[in-house]
Structure 1
Amino acid sequence: MKTNCTHMKIKKSLFIKQKVIFVLLLFSLFAFGGIIYTFSNSAVLDSQHIRLVEFSEKVEIEVFNGRIKMDELLSGNKTITNSSVFERFDRAENYISDIEQIISKTKKIKLDKENHFLYQLSELRLLIHQIKEIVRTKINKDVNSVDLNLAGSYLEFMLKFDEYGKTLHAFISENNYRLKRELFILLTSIFTILIISLVLIVRLMNSLIRTNRVLLHNTMKVEQSERRRIAMDLHDGLGAMLSSVGLYSKILEKKFKDDPKIHGQLNQITLLSNQALQTVSEVINNLNPSILNRYGLVESLDRLCARANSIGNVKLHLESKKFIGEMNKSTEVIIYRIISELINNTIKHANATEAFITLKGNTKIILHYQDNGSGFDSRKLSLHEKNGMGLLNIIDRIESIGGDSLIDTTPGNGFAITIELRIDK
């Protein structure tokens, strides 16, 4: 059941990571799509505006050139034909048609400025057509009174074209304003989605951290349960067998006490069985520290330090007077193992002469461990893990009970770690 639960936690962890990737991918696609859409619209709009201005200028130029051609034709310039005169006005009308076509291709909702702009285009076309008809009458009938009408129509066209130019400018400004408004809405939307994405990612990451902690905690529980089972098997199986071997060897010692050679060999078997039984007892205690059930955490740590002081070259100091907290047995076991591992690292690797252990707190437990050993580069923690320092394993144990740790060490300046753990009474 616990294995299945662990597998479920792993699947949940992977599912959360997939969610984070999905949120980031969705935001990236939206932002990229918005940027492409904006640049595309901006490019299309700029192209339309350039063409509108270009065609509008050509309308004025063609009408102006048409009048010049007409004057040259009437003055007797034989290189100028009637068709070349009317061709200028026809081109002007075609450019107006091109302008109307550009406006018709826009998918925007027609605004008042657009309607007014189109209305002025139709008036320009009407005036050009009127000028063209007056020119045709002038050329065909050579009526002098037509000059006045032609001048008046041309003046009216120029005034109307000036008004049209202002409307064109207003129309372009309105389109640019709409583009800026769309860009502002898009950026606001992207920013809003970014905030929402960040909030979702933070929540997902917090959920992932909680899931990892639960997974690690369950792993530690399974490990502790297996340790307890193995310890019981060793105690009931191998321990009982070694006790029996020692008992039978003692019986045989008494039976062969008159034979010094056999008696010595049996005595050696008794000593070896006792040593093996003591070793098994130490292994059982390491697997399942029953000393915690008998003495509690503080006294067990005191006894651990006393035993280490009696056999090692490192002097251990334990300060626990300010500790008044209570924790469940599984947490006590993990704390005991953490301190045991730290002491083991100091003795085996640190070349230290002293180590200090401080345990204090109530609902918030603070454990501080420090030695005066050789220290190491904490940035190469994984390398020390390969060399047997076991600090990564210690950090995993701390995280499994919801604790935080801070390591302070540099080469030649010893090692220190502070562990903070909030517990419920």
Structure 2
Amino acid sequence: MFPVTSRRHFSFSLYMLRSSSPHNHVLYSSSFLPSFVSSKSSSTKDNLETSSPPMAACIDTCRTGKPQISPRNSSRSHDDESGFRYMNYYRSGYPDRSPINVTQTRTLHTRPLLEDLDRDAEIDDVWAKIRQEAKSDIEREPIVSGYYQASIVSQRSLEAALANTLSVKLSNLNLPSNTLFDLFTGVLEEHPEIVESVKQDLLAVKERDPACISYVHCFLHFKGFLACQAHRIAHELWTQNRKILALLIQNRVSEAFAVDFHPGAKIGTGILLDHATAIVIGETAVVGNNVSILHNVTLGGTGKQCGDRHPKIGDGVLIGAGTCILGNITIGEGAKIGAGSVVLKDVPPRTTAVGNPARLLGGKDNPKKHDKIPGLTMDQTSHISEWSDYVI
């Protein structure tokens, strides 16, 4: 192995060679490498990619071309004055490293719009991105090395990493993490549709929550995301009539994350639970796709009646903080529920309900409709001026 200084020069040479190539997506062959490197064995080449942090940072960035909104990227030169243009996305971890022809423009300090993203490529690359971000975080903050190595880098798949994270956070003295890990891994490996829902939720948090700085940040630290994934496992056990285990998971999630989902509740994909503290969802509740729910929200019943007794939330709904939606009622697709509302009756699609008791913006007979999907836009205040004479 040659000295650190030589490796840095070699890493920079590779970066400059790739930048000057007319086809940026062409991978390096041995003909581009100095003779003292090309003569090494394949195992030595593998070591060159992983042993040195400076070289790994350079090569990984060249191969993936992934946008990183961070101070170290702001020093790069760009032809487009309006923002950064990133091209030639690669699927990290795939042997052929075939390029995904996606051109994306990002502006500094601006989150990308949903329509600017190739969602299929994003979903496929989530695990590769998590690993890449974990390695980058280790370089910047070595103190997290052991935690990130055990939680992300050493894990063989997204399923294993998720099972490991949940088992550690939900274990206690009487419920060892190894037992939970085996249970969670078995469910996730037998039901790949749950893993796809996990990826959709990761994208939802990254796109809608400005406090989310990376996928790995959400994956390890966002209790709303983790509680939702634990519920997906518990719900699958509930449907298999393994209700004792399902209720055990519900109890541990409630204690660890302060989020209480009955395992019988049905939850869609692309879910954002922002902050998540004190969210309660009852047994017969149904939550659609691309729904955003803030903290201290209750989807509950109105008494001790049995049967179908909880709310049905349509796709694209936004539910503000401190809201109570009670009874077997329907919140229509794309509706918006203002913070602190108490909803006891059906809410039509694409309308806004606010207040206690909740009432429709524009009135019951001719409610005002909106065109955008509030579950995606996260717009919680645009209705205020038209709803009341509230002033400061």
TM-score interval w.r.t. the shorter chain? under 0.3
TM score, norm. by length of structure 2? 0.22
Structure number with greater CO (CA < 8 Å, separation at least 6) is 1
- Give 1 or 2: higher helix fraction: 1
Decide which structure has the larger Cα Rg and report it. Answer: 1
- Give 1 or 2: higher strand fraction: 2
